[in-house]
């Protein structure tokens, strides 16, 4: 047996009864090293704390970075708010805005206490413009209080299989004990786009909603990708200083539906560029031009431990790559940047 080393990669060659030309072995090893280095470089291109690509047809994970890292999800939480509303309310019913809903800050459509408006209109405001006042109003209209509504959200998350997600409000404002993961977020999005009214709203670029009193409110979708390519089927943005920039979205190219989720991107330009890159990578993997990859890193996660009775559900599909640099073991019991009172916007 011969031992030799190329860079930091160690290899062993066992002699066998047949002869293998040394140049052929060297070529194979160099190709392997090149592929490994390419994967590491590509991984570094994803500066978000976590990211995931899912095949929406069967839930197969095509690519993931820190898929089960628990962290704040900002306004992407409103996807679950919309699911619970769509499944439990008459969307044409008129509701009255309370003082509590009208006072929600900072992202809002300036609803006034006493305004009467259809639940459907509130859904457009919450999903398109990420309005916190609309999200709180929806919770109160459906369950009588936001506290009762949150119980419905957490129950639905478990039904969908989002076992590493917990909600404490309907709008995504940060607070202790509220978190999700890119793995769970993709599952929630996969479920949401099967509901026609949610899919319709997420793909709407601009809309004028109105109160029963005739006041007109113009809303514009915060998802910039809707203007970039007709293949994009919609998504939901989110931001707080703790959560950073977040996005979950879907695209359909050549009849192949891809979902991506991104949590903790450092800036809005980085969020959009990396989202587009992930959609492109998802198409390549789906077309078998690249292999599925999952990797785990501690880089820039700023993790804090939290207690939970809910077991983590590991993502095991695809090839798992663990980079030695800053390696961290994840057991679904950690959250990044939890519990700071930070402002939120879409």
Instruction: Give the domain ranges of the chain.
Output: 49-345
Q: Are strands 293-296 and 319-322 parallel, antiparallel or unpaired?
A: parallel
Tokens of 38: 């390419």
> What are the tokens at 193?
């786009």
Spatial distance between the Cα atoms of 23 and 59, rounded to a whole number of angstroms: 42
Please check the confidence at residue 159 and state whether its pLDDT lies above 70: yes
Classify domain 49-345 by CATH number.
3.40.710.10
DSSP code, position 77: G
Q: Write down the pLDDT at residue 10.
A: 34
Question: So what's the pLDDT on residue 20?
Answer: 40
Q: What is the pLDDT of residue 229?
A: 82
Task: Give tens-digit pLDDT for 58-83.
Answer: 999 999 999 999 999 999 999 999 99
Cα–Cα–Cα angle for 149, 124, 208, nearest 5°? Answer: 145
Has residue 309 got a pLDDT over 60?
no
Express each pLDDT in 120-146 by its tens digit.
999 999 999 999 999 999 999 999 999
**76: which strand partners?**
none
Other beta carbons within 10 angstroms of residue 154's beta carbon come to 16
> Across the strands, what pairs with 6?
9
SS (H, E, C) 266-333: CCHHHHHHHHHHHHHHHHHHHCCCCCCEEEECCCCCCEEECCCCCCCCCCCCCEEEECCCCCCCCCCC
Angle at CA 28, nearest 5°, toward 25 and 29?
A: 85
Q: pLDDT tens digits for 22-69?
A: 554 444 344 343 444 344 435 567 899 999 999 999 999 999 999 999
């Amino acid at each position: 047996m011969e031992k030799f080393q190329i860079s930091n990669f160690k290899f062993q060659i066992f002699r066998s009864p047949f002869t293998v030309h040394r140049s052929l072995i060297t070529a194979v090893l160099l190709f392997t090293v090149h592929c490994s280095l390419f994967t590491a470089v590509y991984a570094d291109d994803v500066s978000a704390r976590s990211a995931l690509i899912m095949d929406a047809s069967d839930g197969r994970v095509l690519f993931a970075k820190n898929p089960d890292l628990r962290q704040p999800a900002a306004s992407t939480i409103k996807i679950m708010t919309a699911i619970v509303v769509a499944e439990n309310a008459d969307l044409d019913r008129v509701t009255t805005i309370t003082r509590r809903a009208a006072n929600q800050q900072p992202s809002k459509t300036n609803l006034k206490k006493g305004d009467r408006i259809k639940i459907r209109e509130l859904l457009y405001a919450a999903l398109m413009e990420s309005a916190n006042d609309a999200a709180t109003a929806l919770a109160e209209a459906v369950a009588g209080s936001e506290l009762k509504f949150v119980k419905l959200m957490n129950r639905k998350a478990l039904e969908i299989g989002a076992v590493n997600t917990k909600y404490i409000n309907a709008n995504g404002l940060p607070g202790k004990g509220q978190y999700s993961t890119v793995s769970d977020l993709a599952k929630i999005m996969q479920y949401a786009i099967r509901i026609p009214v949610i899919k319709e709203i997420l793909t709407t670029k601009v809309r004028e909603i109105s109160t029963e009193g005739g006041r007109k409110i113009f809303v514009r979708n915060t998802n910039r990708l809707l203007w970039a390519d007709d293949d994009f089927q919609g998504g939901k943005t989110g931001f707080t200083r703790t959560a950073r920039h977040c996005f979950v979205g879907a695209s359909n190219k050549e009849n192949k539906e891809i979902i991506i989720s991104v949590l903790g991107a450092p800036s809005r330009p980085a969020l959009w560029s990396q989202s587009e890159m992930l959609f492109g990578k998802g198409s390549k993997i789906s077309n078998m031009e690249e292999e599925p990859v999952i990797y785990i890193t501690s880089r820039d996660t700023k993790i804090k431990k939290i207690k939970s009775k809910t077991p983590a559900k590991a993502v095991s599909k695809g090839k798992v790559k663990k980079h030695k640099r800053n390696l961290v073991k994840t057991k679904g019991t950690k959250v990044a940047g939890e519990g700071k009172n930070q402002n939120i916007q879409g």
